């Protein structure tokens, strides 16, 4: 029953599609503060609109008009729910049929040809913080192409943008997983956001297992960096108590050398990475529990309440109480 409801919802004309169906001209439907730069040929998007109160953003691509060339600072997964589509990614023409998936890196530029009545393309946007480091570790052990792709987005050490094309071959659980994500997103219930976040690593692993993957634009330099993987895993698992000193001791590195190495590899300091993880955990507790904010601050490892509020507002654009009220 839910599948029929989802199918009907996705084929239903949106307000933008009604205009585009008549004019066949692209209609800009994003808030102005989401666009960093724009001209007739190119659009640069930021994260503001897409991740205000969600870890993952899902949308249906509007049909009947060509979508202009654009780039963004988040990872994007394009899923051809039905029909057929054509997009140009970093100058490469990619045809998508029902069941096909494309994973685009941060900084990739792409445009899409106009879609027809039954051409339903789904966009799933996420930031690389949503990729669990245990997943990367498993993929690293298997020398996966996906590991190198995802690690490149994490460390910013890539030499050129990447995208991976997954062509559907026979039956796959990928379609069921994405349909589940879509149902949770469009027919939201309690904990839907947490369920969607949990399905993301399952989706990525299943893509590797079930689909024949092709690198359409390889990086000139493979990145297999166990040191950075250790640093990121220690931050992820021990965010409340971990320190640069403890990680340096574990790796048998000089603390100042490790600090400089982290900055060079990631573009961020150890403290900045640690604060990102603490804030992520704080937001998760704020949206999924009724714990007092003061208790959450202590639980995630912040010792200064004012510092926490300042950093939280910088990251999410509002205070923790507003996050909780929005979630309710």
Report the pLDDT averaged over residues 274-293.
86
Query: Does 183 share its domain with 275?
Result: no
* Helix, strand and coil in the chain, % to nearest 5: 50, 20, 35
Q: Sign of dihedral through CA atoms 308, 309, 310, 316?
A: positive
Same domain, 133 and 254: no
Q: What does the mean pLDDT of the chain come to?
A: 80
Span 183-206, average pLDDT: 84
**Are both 141 and 288 inside the same structural domain?**
no
pLDDT, average across residues 110-129: 87
Q: Which of 156, 186, 215 is the last residue of a domain?
A: 215
**CATH code of the domain covering residue 233:** 1.10.10.60
What is the model's pLDDT at position 42?
67
Q: What is the mean pLDDT of residues 248-259?
A: 94
Domain boundary among 149, 180, 215: 215
Q: What is the CATH number of the domain that holds 141?
A: 2.60.120.810
114 inside domain: yes
Q: Do residue 146 and residue 233 come from a single domain?
A: no
Residue span of the structural domain in which 307 resides: 226-327
Q: What is the pLDDT of residues 17-48, one digit of tens each?
A: 999 999 999 988 777 767 666 665 667 666 66
Residue 206: inside a domain: yes
62-68: average pLDDT: 93
Phi, psi of 106 (to 5 degrees): -60, 130
Which range is most confident: 66-80, 109-123, 214-228? 109-123
Q: Which pLDDT score, from 0 to 100, does residue 120 have?
A: 96
Domain shared by 62 and 198, yes or no: yes
- Total tally of structural domains belonging to the chain: 2
Is residue 13 a part of any domain in this protein? yes
Question: Which pLDDT value is given to residue 52?
Answer: 63
Domain membership of residue 68 (yes or no) is yes
Query: Is the pLDDT confidence value at 74 over 80?
Result: no
pLDDT of residue 207: 79
Q: Please enumerate in sequence order all residues whose Cβ is within 8 A of that of 232, keeping only pairs 6 or more positions apart, or say none.
A: 133, 154, 273
- Judging by beta carbons within 10 Å of its beta carbon (0-12, 13-18, 19+), is residue 32 exposed, middle or buried? exposed
The answer on 101 and 246 residing in a single domain is no
- Check pLDDT > 60 for residue 143: no
220 located within any domain:
no
Tell me the two tokens of residue 95.
């045809």
The fraction of the chain above a pLDDT of 90, given in percent, is 33
Q: What is the pLDDT of residues 271-282, one digit of tens each?
A: 998 998 898 888
Is 221 part of any domain? no
Structure tokens at 161: 């943008």
25 vs 66: CA distance, rounded Å: 7
Residue where a domain terminates, one of 215, 238, 258: 215
């Amino acid at each position: 029953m839910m599948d029929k409801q989802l199918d009907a919802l996705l084929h239903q004309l949106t307000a933008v599609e009604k205009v585009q169906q008549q004019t066949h001209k692209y209609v800009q439907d994003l808030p102005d503060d989401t666009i960093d730069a724009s001209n007739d040929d190119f659009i640069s998007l930021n994260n503001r609109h897409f991740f205000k109160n969600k870890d993952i953003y899902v949308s249906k691509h509007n049909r009947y008009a060509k979508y202009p060339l654009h780039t963004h600072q988040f990872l994007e997964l394009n899923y051809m729910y039905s029909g057929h589509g054509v997009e140009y990614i970093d100058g490469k023409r990619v045809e998508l049929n029902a069941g096909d998936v494309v994973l685009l890196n941060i900084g990739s530029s792409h445009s899409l040809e106009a879609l027809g009545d039954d051409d339903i393309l789904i966009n799933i946007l996420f930031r690389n913080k949503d990729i669990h480091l245990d997943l990367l570790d498993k993929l690293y052990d298997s020398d996966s192409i996906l590991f190198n792709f995802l690690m490149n987005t994490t460390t910013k050490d890539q030499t050129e943008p990447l995208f991976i094309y997954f062509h559907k071959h026979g039956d796959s659980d990928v379609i069921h997983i994405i349909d589940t994500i879509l149902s949770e997103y469009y027919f939201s219930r309690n904990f839907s956001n947490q369920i969607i976040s949990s399905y993301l690593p399952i989706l990525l692993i299943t893509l590797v297992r079930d689909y024949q993957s092709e690198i359409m634009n390889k990086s000139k330099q493979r990145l297999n960096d166990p040191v950075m993987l250790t640093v990121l895993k220690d931050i992820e698992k021990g965010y409340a108590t971990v320190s640069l000193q403890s990680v340096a001791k574990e790796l048998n590195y000089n603390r100042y050398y490790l600090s400089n190495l982290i900055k060079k590899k990631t573009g961020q300091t150890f403290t900045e990475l640690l604060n990102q993880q603490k804030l992520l955990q704080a937001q998760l507790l704020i949206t999924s529990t009724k714990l007092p904010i003061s208790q959450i601050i202590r639980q995630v490892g912040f010792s200064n309440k004012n510092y926490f509020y300042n950093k939280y507002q910088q990251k999410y654009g509002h205070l923790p109480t507003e996050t909780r009220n929005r979630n309710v």
